[in-house]
Structure 1
Amino acid sequence: MARRSLVLITGINGYIAAHTAATFLRAGYAVRGTVRKKTPNVDSLVRALNQYHDGNRLELVEVPDISVDGAFDGAVQGVQAIAHLASPVSMAETDPAPMMWAAVQGTTSLLAAATAESHRREPGKGALQSVVFMSTISAIFSSSHPAGHVFAEADWNDAAEEDLRRLGRDTPGYVIYQASKTAAERAFWRVGEETDTRLNLTTLCPAPVLGPPLYLPEPISSLSMRVKDVYDIFHGGLIPDFSPIRSTFVDVRDVAELVLRAVEKDQDTQPRGSRDRYLLVGESPISPQQMADVLRAEFPQRRNRIREGIPGETYPDMTWRFDASKAGTLLGRDWVGLRQSVVDSAKVFLKAETV
């Protein structure tokens, strides 16, 4: 794909999407990003991204409701690649229906618009070739798998959708999130098969994502969930409890780089209808206690504020493992480690305190 090609990034003001936009801008692309509406956080995003381009390669368009039919029809016009990162996220949700609908319908609406746009344009230079969908490790991992199971791209989390059907309105928020992301990714693949699209389709399934935010949102409570863990620990909050998902991690900069590499892997070919799925795990097992240990070691001036916990404590031996070698090959370098990710995040928080 030639430099200065135009890539569409949905939900561009999100944590991962902002880094993805910066990565594409640094690589010379023009970026069109969708937002629900213009807000102070969007203004903060634009200021952060302006350092990565020459002033004419960033465009924002409003898509108030991604679940509406035709929501992306205008946004996809003229683009050569799409990174679909917009998705409803709420761990406090108790009614699964709205989140399930928005996640699935937003995905199918986007892919329908992309397929129609690709059919309107001739294959070859300037054609729309790639759609990358940001899924999650929660669409792969399920504790229902037997001890010793090694999770990889062939796995699916069937338990979350089954739990949602069984519990209905009593479903915990995190199960709704897992089920919505799983259903959205399944819909992505189903629509791709049913429409016989010529587009190259890729899904990325990252572990909980850490790393320095490109900008700090207002209110700070809207930080991405695992980054909020680091923020809370850094500011004297409780060290989070054990969970199997929290034993995995990937740095946001690695995720953004993999979106770029997924788009570019077929850069000089016409659309071929390739299909790829990647599990993204930079390091495992890890624990929130390690975050506290790193922060207390790297920021000694805050040792009286950062809770000590039980230094060196790790999670119980995990019976499951994760094979992210396919994504590691695509990344082409070592993953960013937990220590660097935590320290770089804290530096952003510390800088904000002194401004």
Structure 2
Amino acid sequence: MASKRLVLITGINGYIAAHTAAVFLKAGYTVRGTVRARTANVETLVRSLGKFHDGNGLELVEVPDISANGAFDHAVEGVQAIAHLASPVSMTETDPAPMMRAAVQGTTSLLTSALGEARKETRKGSLKSVVFVSSMSAIFSPSRPAGHVFTEADWNEAAEEEMRRLGKNTPGYVIYQASKVAAERAYWEFGRETRADFAMTALCPGLVLGPPLYLPKPISSLSMRVKDVYDIFHGGHIPEFAPIRTTFADVRDVAELVFRAVERDIERPGARERYLLTAPPPISPQGIADALRDSFPERRDIIREGNPGETYPDMTFRFDSSKAASLLGRDWIGFQRSVVDSAGAFLDAEIA
């Protein structure tokens, strides 16, 4: 790999994006990251990433509104690869329109800028890869028949149908799922319609856990599932069972797969790939409490016991992530390690 390739990471201060930036910096890339504004959390991230480069490996570009036309025109200049991780997230919104618009237009705005950069005569063909981090929510649907094995061929059509039925009374989690479906569909449609020369890859991880690279303030802004670990570690309730909570990917594996996809795609112009990312079971909310109580016995008076070893309703759904496992090239980071490492990051931050 040639040194100092330039990769753009959108929403670099996000949970997965921060880890992704660290992976690219360690590999010798120059990283350009987009942020909405230079907040205190962004400055904390910059300090956290400082140990992975020599002082010249990271630059930031402010993009206040990712859905605006031309929002990424400056950010994409001269890049060889793009990892798109910026995405709106809200579990309290009940009107689908704003979130759907931001998710879809944020994706198409970036791709439009990317295509313009790729076709500039002065840099024609220099952009080789665009990797879009989608979600298991774009694949998994409980409406599938018993015994269904989810693969990259599946789409969550139920969320979109539910949103259309409920309109402005749609629960936030349904809007989130539908926005992931719509944004990824827009991504692939753009590639088909424009016949873009750069490679395009979508990664669809299950619920993402693992140690944050930095702890945001307020702590309530932690990524949703790692916030579950934080809450349970600090005496909070154990979340109820849900089918999608039986899927999981460690944030470090997701970041590594973004990097591996870019490295592969740079050598395969025009390639199109989709990957389902989920580590092997068993995975459950109760399992978070069990792992924490086992690994931190001194906190057993804080961490709720729940029903140790509780088994959940027999899941007939299965997930085939063998394609992503092949790209990763090593064993997935396991659920217990991910939970315990997350808690360790919380403790380190509280002691510092």
Q: Indicate the TM-score class for this superposition, using the shorter chain for normalisation.
A: over 0.9
Cα separation, 2, equivalents of 1:169 and 1:284: 36
- The 5 A counterparts of 1:203-242 are 203-242=202-241
Structure 2 counterpart of 1:228, one-letter code: K
In the alignment, which residue of structure 1 is the partner of 2:70? 70
- 1: CA distance between counterparts of 2:84 and 2:327? 19
* Corresponding residue for residue 24 of structure 1: 24
- C-alpha separation in 2, matches of 1:285 and 1:203: 25
Name the CA distance, whole Å, in 2 between partners of 1:339 and 1:210.
10
Q: Once the two structures are superposed, what CA deviation does each residue of 1:115-147 show, in whole Å capped at 9, x if it has no partner? A: 1100115678x8110000010000000011000
Q: CA RMSD, aligned part only?
A: 1.2
CA distance in structure 1 between the partners assigned to 2:57 and 2:310 by the alignment = 47
Structure 1 counterpart of 2:221, one-letter code: S
Listed as ranges, the gaps of 5+ residues in structure 2 are: none
Give 3-state SS (helix, strand or coil) of 2:145's partner. Answer: coil
Asked if the contact 1:285/1:318 (under 8 Å) is kept, the reply is: no
Runs ≥4 in structure 1, deviation > 4 angstroms?
121-124
CA distance in 2, matches of 1:121, 1:31: 24
- 1:277 is matched with which residue? 274
Q: Which residue of 2 aligns with 1:148?
A: 147
Question: Is residue 292 from structure 1 mapped to residue 289 from structure 2 by the alignment?
Answer: yes
Letter in 2 for 1:308: E
- SS at structure 1 position matched to 2:237: coil
Deviations 1:255-300 (A, max 9, x none): 000000000013345x3x1100000001334111111111011111
Please list the CA deviations of residues 15-61 of structure 1 after superposition, one character each: whole Å capped at 9, or x if unmatched. 00000000000111000000000100001100100000000010000
The number of equivalent residue pairs is 352
Distance across 2 between alignment mates of 1:152 and 1:303? 39
Q: Could you report, residue by residue, the CA deviation over 1:224-252 in whole angstroms, capped at 9, with x for unpaired residues?
A: 00000000000000000000111110000
Partner of 1:329: 326
TM-score, L = length of structure 1: 0.97
Name the % identity. 72
The question of whether the paired residues in 2 share the 8 Å contact of 1:247 and 1:315 is answered with no
Aligned equivalents of 2:55 and 2:280: distance in 1?
37
| Cα distance in 1 between the residues matched to 2:178 and 2:251 | 23
Write the deviation string for residues 86-141 of structure 1: whole angstroms up to 9, x where unpaired.
000011111100000000000001011111100115678x8110000010000000
1:35 corresponds in structure 2 to 35
Corresponding residue SS for 1:265 = helix
Q: Tell me if the contact between 1:242 and 1:287 (Cα under 8 Å) persists in the aligned partners.
A: yes
Match of 1:303 in 2: 300
Where does the alignment leave 5 or more consecutive residues of structure 1 unmatched? none
Q: What TM-score do you get using the length of structure 2 for normalisation?
A: 0.98
Residues 304-332 of structure 1 deviation map (CA, whole Å, 9 limit, x = unaligned) = 11000011012211010000000000000
Distance in 1 between residues matched to 2:53 and 2:348, nearest whole Å: 23
Determine if contact 2:45/2:214 at 8 Å carries over to the other structure.
Answer: yes
